[in-house]
Structure 1
Amino acid sequence: MDFTPTEAQLDLARLTGEICAKLVTADRLRELDTAGRFDEQLWKALAETGVLAAALPEELGGSAFGALEQTAILRELGRCVAAVPYLWSVVLGAGALAKFGDQAQQALAGRAGTGAVVLTAALAEPLRDTTGAPGIIAQGPAWTLTGVATTVPYADRAERILVPATISGRTAVFLVDPAHSSVTRTAQQVVDLSPEFLVEFTDTPAELVGTVESGADILTWLREQAWLGLSAMQLGTLERAVELTAEHTRTREQFGKPLGAFQAVAQRLADAYIDIGGLRLTVTQAAWRVSEDLPTAEAVHTAKFWAAEAGHKVAHTAVHIHGGLGIDRDHTLHNYFTAAKHHEFALGGTTAHLLALGTELAS
């Protein structure tokens, strides 16, 4: 593969980075450090500059860029721990509807690309309902859903939720209006205070995406895109966390020397540098395989494993080297630590993806 970034990657990364640098200051991060964090100003700016619509097809008002460009944007959003639903609304929601949806659903994807509406997806492993049946059950032919989905991001703001459900042992993907009276949304507290909800469906009207026969493929696409997106955001988050830590070791002194002059500190930063290099490589490889329409399961599981493994080690290294400042909720590093822990465990940590990778290799 060619590791040279495309011109579009560089341009989109530069534009996204400039917007984030202008709007997401340390003071703004502290202001947003509350439950249900959402940065309305940043979301509008990304929409107005065309960043949100960049990956949508041209007929939907986009520029038809692919996975490499999307990961470049997500990496920059991770660097500023942006409180916006780009991954869930644009990459997953709009991306799935543009690729698999009918004409009306594609029009909804176009609106998501302008920032006019927010979409999201319920991709965490579903809880069991009171009957003991697994997951969310769909019934037709006038489709309705019954069941529970957990940790659904931005369900409080979403116009529609993409919900995988079971039909007689088969998987299909549906669109659901979360404002319907049969839907109950309960806020959950997650480590980085991002807005995630437990969503309960009781005979909730639903709209099929694609066909029942294509449901498993749509769900696979959604999950792989989500794993890759989380890995790309984790890459940006860890890169910036190490930059903050390196700056701290240059300016903070102990026993008359900068912290970076001590061998133990330098070794931990060197290990963090290597871990981030591994994550960067695997994210780039996975994004390239997606963009080339090659088999992606192994590459995506590998990237998410590195996101979880490196996320744990690098985040803790940054906190430890910062000492007492590392556990101060008012210090900027706090936001990077909590974001890294969120990306580490979201949609599966190290064990889950090692098991999945082993299954792929064995088959």
Structure 2
Amino acid sequence: MDFSLTEAQNDLSRLTRDLLTSSATTSAVDRNSFDRPLWQAMVRAGLLDAALPAPVGGGFGLLEQCSILIEIGRAVAAVPYLSSVAVAASAVAQFGDSAQVQRWVGAVADGSMVIAPALATEDDRFVAEKKAAGWCLRGSRSVVPSGSFADAFLVEATTEDGSMLVVVDHDIDGVRVSAQHVVDGTDAALLEMEDVTVDHTAVIGTPGDGGAQWAHRRATIATCAYQLGVVEQALELTSDYACTRKQFDKPIGSFQAVRQRLADAYIDVEAIRMTLWQAAWRESEELSADAEIAAAKFWAAEAGHRLAHTVVHVHASIGIFLDYPVHRYFVAAKRAEFALGGATSQLRTLGRMLAQPTSS
């Protein structure tokens, strides 16, 4: 296990932070929680294609994507990097053929297309039935990230031979997209499909090839990286506030109870950081990482919850003002907490792994 960051990770992290610091606070965000000017600035800076495989990208991978996502989380930037690049485009690049990579990954890399991942949950899923002309899809998926402005969807569909990934264009007959207002914006959407027919060129890989599970793992790791950036910056803002806000002519950070709570928050941030990089490194090395990913998401959820509330409590009444920056970090942390399974769900996953008999 190597916790040191690569030169590419450090360079991409600095570039992303510089860009977001200069652009994110001044660009206009449209009604769908999508900062289009900032997204195009990221395209011009080469951040979209840098961590995608060659020939459409710069040849870097998951670790570099995590470094970029941490900075996006620190800025709480309204850009679909997590959904469109780290999950959808990466899955197509991993399991698609050369034509599919050029068609969809290339379009994501140059900023001309946003692809939203509609991965199955316990309650929402799509079913695919094989037809002579291709596949017939039906079903629904709620709260699809970046779905309200996506040009296409990477859909996980269940078949007789297992799950498979399919790219479905937004404007195909039978596809209905309804924008949804979630805790931190209106980027999500309800995706419904009724007898939607796609040909074989839209199928990424083959049914049962593990593509859907791969996408779930990458989405979970990416969410943990984003959450790390959110809570890291939120703690820095809160520490600065505790040093300047005074009560009884003393900074509130000098009070024992506040110091202890901020110290606990620091430990939580470091727990998210350590478990994230352990899971990301093992996944990037193609090692077994299911338990590490579940542990990382547990800490992203549990520690993220504690830290989000610590931030608001230390700021007191100003922490709940909608026009104060702390509020943005609170709602971002709460959404990331429950995305792809909260803390209890991850503990159940780890429990099932521990309960499995080991081979002698």
Same fold (TM over 0.5): yes
Aligned residue in 2 for 1:159: 151
1:88-146 per-residue CA deviation (whole Å, 9 max, x = no partner) reads 11111111111101222101111211111111111251646xxxxxx321111320101
Provide TM-score, normalisation by structure 2: 0.94
Higher mean alpha-carbon deviation, 71-80 vs 85-94, is at 85-94
Percent sequence identity is 46
**In 2, Cα distance between the equivalents of 1:152 and 1:165?**
14
CA contact (8 A) 1:298 1:360 kept: yes
> How many Å apart are 1:306 and its aligned residue?
0.4
* 2:138 counterpart of 1:146: yes
CA contact (8 A) 2:230 2:329 kept: yes
1:20-52 per-residue CA deviation (whole Å, 9 max, x = no partner) reads 000122x65xx64x8521111111111111111
* 2:79 counterpart of 1:84: yes
Structure 1 unmatched runs, 5+: 129-134
> How many Å apart are 1:169 and its aligned residue?
6.5
> How many Å apart are 1:361 and its aligned residue?
2.7
1:41 alignment partner AA: P
User: Which residues in structure 2 correspond to 1:37-76 (within 5 Å)?
Assistant: 37-60=33-56, 62-76=57-71
1:299 alignment partner AA: E
* 2:203 counterpart of 1:211: no
CA contact (8 A) 2:69 2:226 kept: yes
Secondary structure of 1:37's aligned partner? coil
Aligned residue in 2 for 1:278: 271
Secondary structure of 2:111's aligned partner? coil
**In 2, Cα distance between the equivalents of 1:272 and 1:41?**
34
* 2:95 counterpart of 1:100: yes
* 2:252 counterpart of 1:256: no
1:280-321 per-residue CA deviation (whole Å, 9 max, x = no partner) reads 000111111112111111111111110000110000000000
1:196 alignment partner AA: A
> How many Å apart are 1:87 and its aligned residue?
1.1
Aligned residue in 1 for 2:5: 5
* 2:330 counterpart of 1:351: no
**In 2, Cα distance between the equivalents of 1:194 and 1:224?**
25
**In 1, Cα distance between the equivalents of 2:2 and 2:305?**
29
Aligned residue in 2 for 1:131: none
2:9 alignment partner AA: Q
Count of residue correspondences: 350
**In 2, Cα distance between the equivalents of 1:194 and 1:275?**
29
CA contact (8 A) 2:179 2:186 kept: no
Aligned residue in 1 for 2:176: 184
CA contact (8 A) 1:164 1:173 kept: yes
CA contact (8 A) 2:137 2:157 kept: yes
* 2:132 counterpart of 1:137: no
Residue number among 106, 109, 119 corresponding to 1:113 in the alignment: 109
1:219-261 per-residue CA deviation (whole Å, 9 max, x = no partner) reads 1110010000000000000000000001111111011110101
**In 1, Cα distance between the equivalents of 2:116 and 2:323?**
30
1:288 alignment partner AA: W
1:151-174 per-residue CA deviation (whole Å, 9 max, x = no partner) reads 112223222211111223622221
Aligned residue in 1 for 2:317: 324
**In 1, Cα distance between the equivalents of 2:93 and 2:324?**
40
**In 2, Cα distance between the equivalents of 1:221 and 1:137?**
19
> How many Å apart are 1:213 and its aligned residue?
3.3
CA contact (8 A) 2:138 2:193 kept: yes
**In 2, Cα distance between the equivalents of 1:307 and 1:187?**
26
Structure 2 unmatched runs, 5+: none
2:51 alignment partner AA: A
What CA RMSD, in Å, does the superposition of the two structures yield over aligned residues?
Answer: 1.5
1:262 alignment partner AA: F
Residue number among 236, 258, 261 corresponding to 1:265 in the alignment: 258
CA contact (8 A) 2:272 2:300 kept: yes
* 2:113 counterpart of 1:123: no
Call closer, same or farther: CA 1:102–1:184 in 2, change over 3 Å. same
Residue number among 158, 166, 169 corresponding to 1:174 in the alignment: 166
Aligned residue in 2 for 1:292: 285
> How many Å apart are 1:80 and its aligned residue?
0.2
**In 2, Cα distance between the equivalents of 1:261 and 1:213?**
57
CA contact (8 A) 1:126 1:150 kept: no
